[in-house]
Amino acid sequence: MPTPTLPDDAASLAPAEARALFRGGLRVPTSGVSAGYAQANLIALPRDWAFDLLLFAQRNPKACPVLDVAEDGRTSAPLFDGDLRTDLPAYRVYEHGRLVAETTDASEHWRPDLVSFLIGCSFTFEAPLMEAGIPVRHIEAGTNVAMYRTSRPCRPAGRLSGPLVVSMRPVPADRVADAVRITSRYPAVHGAPVHVGDPAGLGIADLSRPDYGDPVEVRPGEVPVFWACGVTPQAAVTASAPEFAIGHAPGHMAVTDARDADYQVP
Amino acid sequence: MPTPTLPDDAASLAPAEARALFRGGLRVPTSGVSAGYAQANLIALPRDWAFDLLLFAQRNPKACPVLDVAEDGRTSAPLFDGDLRTDLPAYRVYEHGRLVAETTDASEHWRPDLVSFLIGCSFTFEAPLMEAGIPVRHIEAGTNVAMYRTSRPCRPAGRLSGPLVVSMRPVPADRVADAVRITSRYPAVHGAPVHVGDPAGLGIADLSRPDYGDPVEVRPGEVPVFWACGVTPQAAVTASAPEFAIGHAPGHMAVTDARDADYQVP
């Protein structure tokens, strides 16, 4: 069976349709796919590490807003009526904190003791940004969002610690306030930016060299705006070396059955 | 040393002063104490149950908004610069879901494997209610708030399940909307009511017989208003029978060092 391709109208795919394409082997970043539906980061850890991860999320809610949890033995969740092992475009597999595999199908790596956490993703508020006329460069360019490990430590929990990871979008200076206002209405998917301008203040030396995803152009008159990112738990896995973990490949998210609007506050 | 008494100006006690009185043996409900400071429910469970409790809280956020967690071996927390074993007015000790002791000092029952969860308490928004001229009957009467086990099940998590517990305050019919508006600004301390009027809709047969705390008069022209309550984890302990648990005695809360205002959203 040939690997499926992403249709031109990816934004109008139903979540189950998008998941079927990914299950079939399609590997693409999911920004812009199934517009109007929330996307989520995945981090799956052995049951013995599940409390540490959930406490890490509770202590770092901007980076790790938990949308749903599939307990050990489960591979779907109320928010995700698919198979967590196969229905994301790509996965990263870690052993003792080291990346040992990147794959479009995590079935052969999956363990029955894994607890899966679905964590809010800022792709969720990109549709509202674009509706307000704020350009989202990586969607225009057809690339993955740029993500950076920062010098800002997360608050540790049990055996887990690590740096805050952020995503960056260039925003025209006269629309930064609007971008703050719009995204602050979505606290469950990272909410308002954690940092506006001044990459050095986050310990980012070179915007053109993201730690995850693809670089994007920051044009004259634009300001780099940084949102907390759900790759943060994977940075904690790298730093803290649990025996085993599976995460999504950054930018290659779980497309959920929840509506963006479900996460909007007044 | 004689047991201390509550001063007339209990509202103006600093949190550390209130905790010292409770540590000395004073046993009173804490509604109205240290006005302006957040109060919290306590539930402490063995480490082996900690993930189930934290997941239960994540799945039932109206009833169980987690403000802070003291990991096993710790008896204080950033929000509570005191001793969790002694500095609440009263505790309840459970074995296999049965209440086996009620005490003003939990030291002799404490275990090193207990993980302590501080959960938001609706006493926190009583000061803003009163500032808006909405009477809080149990404070006027000097009694404990009325709390009820409802017929509404919480969403289970692992081995934990149980009913939603609510607190009730009678509110004049023409101030119900204001009470909703004011309390909805405090989502971390239960937020807006879960139910207004119609006790039978929650399975409450007789308002004059609360399951926890003291009954209060509902006067003509007043409506019983129900908020989710942080005693809910103790109802789950009763229903789910973990080997061991310690909670606060309902209404006898942890007075924290956090300001009410810290939990207010726009």
* pLDDT single digits (tens) A153-187: 999 999 999 999 999 999 999 999 999 999 999 98
B75/B177 same-domain check: no
Distance of CA A83 to the CA centre of its chain: 18
Residue among B48, B51, B155 with most chain A CBs within 10 A, to mutate: B51
What is the percent of chain A with per-residue pLDDT over 90, rounded to a whole number?
A: 89
Residues B26 and B33: beta-carbon distance below 8 Å: no
| CA-atom Rg of chain B in angstroms | 17
B203/B244 same-domain check: no
Distance CA A49, CA A183 (A): 31
Q: Which of B253, B66, B237, B254 is nearest to B167 (CA)?
A: B253
Element (H, E) at B119: strand B114-120
pLDDT of amino acid B88:
98
Residue B6 domain-assigned (yes or no):
no
Smallest CA–CA distance from B158 into chain A, residue: A71
Is A69 part of the contact surface with chain B (CB cutoff 8 Å)?
A: yes
Distance CA A214, CA A168 (A): 10
Distance of CA B26 to the CA centre of its chain: 18
B139/B194 same-domain check: yes
B89/B189 same-domain check: no
Q: How do the pLDDT tens digits run along chain B, 266 residues long?
A: 678 988 889 999 999 999 999 999 999 999 889 998 999 999 999 999 999 999 999 999 999 999 999 999 999 999 999 999 999 999 999 999 999 999 999 999 999 999 999 999 998 899 899 999 999 999 999 899 999 999 999 999 999 999 999 999 999 999 999 999 999 999 889 999 999 999 999 999 999 999 999 999 999 999 999 999 999 999 999 999 999 999 999 999 999 999 988 888 76
| pLDDT tens string A213-251 | 999 999 999 999 999 999 999 999 999 999 999 999 999
B41/B84 same-domain check: yes
Residues A52 and A157: beta-carbon distance below 8 Å: yes
Residue B94 domain-assigned (yes or no):
yes
Give me the CATH number covering residue B79: 3.40.1640.10
Residue B266 domain-assigned (yes or no):
no
A79/A143 same-domain check: no
Give the Å distances, CA to CA, from B123 to A61, B25, B104, B142. Answer: 24, 21, 20, 14
ipTM of the complex: 0.82
Return the exposure string of B117-149: e unless at least 16 CB atoms fall within 10 Å of the residue's CB, then b. Answer: bbbbbbbbbbbbbbeeebebbbbeeebbbbbbb
Residue B139 domain-assigned (yes or no):
yes
Residue A5 domain-assigned (yes or no):
no
Residue A115 domain-assigned (yes or no):
yes
Tell me which residue in A54, A59, A66 faces B51 most closely, judged by beta carbons: A54
Tell me which residue in A50, A59, A66 faces B51 most closely, judged by beta carbons: A50
**Residue B223 Cα, gap to closest chain A Cα (Å):** 26
A209/A248 same-domain check: no
Residue A3 domain-assigned (yes or no):
no
Distance CA A54, CA A112 (A): 18
Smallest CA–CA distance from A68 into chain B, residue: B59
Contacts of B47 in chain A (CB under 8 A): 51
**Residue B114 Cα, gap to closest chain A Cα (Å):** 13
Total of domains in chain B: 2
A118/A130 same-domain check: no
pLDDT of amino acid A226:
96
B21/B110 same-domain check: yes
B92/B19 same-domain check: yes
pLDDT of amino acid B1:
66
**Residue A117 Cα, gap to closest chain B Cα (Å):** 11
Greatest alpha-carbon span in chain A: 51
**Contacting A residues, span 167-226, partner chain B, CB-CB under 8 Å:** none
Which conformational region is residue B130 in: left (phi greater than 0), alpha (psi within -120 to 50 degrees), or beta? alpha
- What SS3 state is found at B230? coil
Asked if B71 lies within 8 A of A54 by C-beta distance, the reply is no
Contacts of A77 in chain B (CB under 8 A): none
Residue B1 domain-assigned (yes or no):
no
Which regions in chain A score pLDDT beneath 70?
Answer: 1, 266
Give the contacts of A9 (CB within 8 A, at least 6 positions apart).
Answer: none
B114/B133 same-domain check: no
Is B54 part of the contact surface with chain A (CB cutoff 8 Å)?
A: yes
Give me the CATH number covering residue B188: 3.30.2040.10
Residues B153 and B59: beta-carbon distance below 8 Å: no
A15/A47 same-domain check: yes
Query: Could you list the residue range(s) of the whole structural domain that residue B207 is in?
Result: 125-228
Give the contacts of B240 (CB within 8 A, at least 6 positions apart).
Answer: B97, B159, B160, B161, B162
